[in-house]
Amino acid sequence: MHKRRLLLSLLTLLVTLTLVLVGTGCSRMRIAYQTADFFVDRHVNDYLQLDRSQRQQWAPLRKTALAAHREEELPYLAAFFDSARDGAVNGFTRAGMTCLLDQFETIYQRHMRLIIGALAPVLAGLERDQIDALAARFEQEAQKDAANTGPAAAARRARKRAERYESNMGWWIGDLTSNQLDILGDLTAAMPDTAPAWNAYRDRKRQELTALLRQQASAAALERFLRGWLIDLDDLPPDLAGIDAIMREHMTELFLRLGPSFSPAQRARFVDRLTTLRDDFLALQTQPRMAARGC
């Protein structure tokens, strides 16, 4: 529902989503997916503190959403990792990166529609004390973000961003060379620091959501609002206009510059991890297939 880091941008999501998908390790991907209902319930209850009747209402919605995810969304994930594998094997190109990032944007939008559709009825049924608790949590997080402003905070975010990208790429390809570290350092340093602007946008939309909840908005109204916020990115502030295009270019440059530097061992490791993910997402389907790439 809240997107948290997902609102940073569709392109920084490329790394975030990958970490979510592989956080337990490729060899345990199927086990993690089979227990997804437990983790989904835990996160929903963590944020919303559902009572017994609400949990009973949520259970069939979650079950339907996960079943739809298995049948309708896993083909897109399999195709995404298959496309990434092609790039790892044959070399990344600008056209190939455009296709890959377009696929990722489609995956993001489809996942958000599924999540929003399942959560809207539950949100519409929240009691006043639950809404108050949610608003208090939003306010606490906003205050924490407000404390992380200024040059020192910006420098800290830049350092953590560089460390995150280094750790991510290390997971994919193994130990990085000094040249590869320099490439990552150059590219992450050039990425704009949009965290304050995104946080302000998120906090404003959270306040609007809270107002709708207090007005006892219908599930349909909440779904429209959440789609506008989390998918269409309605009424973005001017300082965030065009940021997705900028981040797409940074991500493209990252792989165009890093790809040729891979050693045979690094490339083999990268291909192996991508192949395993593709095959896992195929194996998890009742009738394995990959969605059309569309490019």
What are φ and ψ of residue 132, in 5° steps? -60, -40
Among 27-31, 48-52, 113-117, 171-175, which range has the highest average pLDDT?
171-175
Distance CA 82, CA 90 (A): 12
Is the confidence at residue 164, as pLDDT, over 70?
Answer: yes
Closest CA to 135 of 292, 2, 295, 30: 2
| Distances, alpha carbon 255 to alpha carbons 8, 167, 250, in Å | 20, 15, 9
> By percentage, how much of the chain surpasses pLDDT 70?
85
Tokens found for residue 50: 């559902």
Q: What is the pLDDT of residue 239?
A: 84
Distance CA 45, CA 24 (A): 22
User: Has this prediction a pTM greater than 0.85?
Assistant: no
Domain ranges of the chain: 4-283
Is the confidence at residue 72, as pLDDT, over 50?
Answer: yes
Distance CA 255, CA 190 (A): 15
Surface-to-core class of residue 255, CB atoms within 10 Å of its CB (0-12 exposed, 13-18 middle, 19+ buried): buried
**With bands split at pLDDT 50, 70 and 90, how would you rate the model's confidence at 16?**
very low
231, 10 Cβ separation under 8 angstroms = no
Q: What is the pLDDT of residue 227?
A: 92
**Average pLDDT over the chain, rounded to an integer:** 83
177-192: average pLDDT: 93
216-238: average pLDDT: 92
Q: What is the pLDDT of residue 26?
A: 39
Is the confidence at residue 32, as pLDDT, over 80?
Answer: no
Tens-digit pLDDT profile for residues 250-283: 999 999 999 999 999 999 999 999 999 899 889 8
26, 273 Cβ separation under 8 angstroms = yes
**With bands split at pLDDT 50, 70 and 90, how would you rate the model's confidence at 25?**
very low
**With bands split at pLDDT 50, 70 and 90, how would you rate the model's confidence at 1?**
very low
56-64: average pLDDT: 79
Is the confidence at residue 86, as pLDDT, over 80?
Answer: yes
Residue scoring higher pLDDT (128 or 9) = 128
136-159: average pLDDT: 90
Residue 277's Cβ-side half-sphere holds a number of Cα atoms within 13 Å equal to: 26
Residue 28's Cβ-side half-sphere holds a number of Cα atoms within 13 Å equal to: 8
Q: What is the pLDDT of residue 22?
A: 36
User: What's the residue count for the chain?
Assistant: 295
Q: What is the pLDDT of residue 103?
A: 92
Is the confidence at residue 92, as pLDDT, over 70?
Answer: yes
Q: What is the pLDDT of residue 52?
A: 81
42-51, 96-105, 234-243: least confident range: 42-51
SS3 17: helix
17-25: average pLDDT: 37
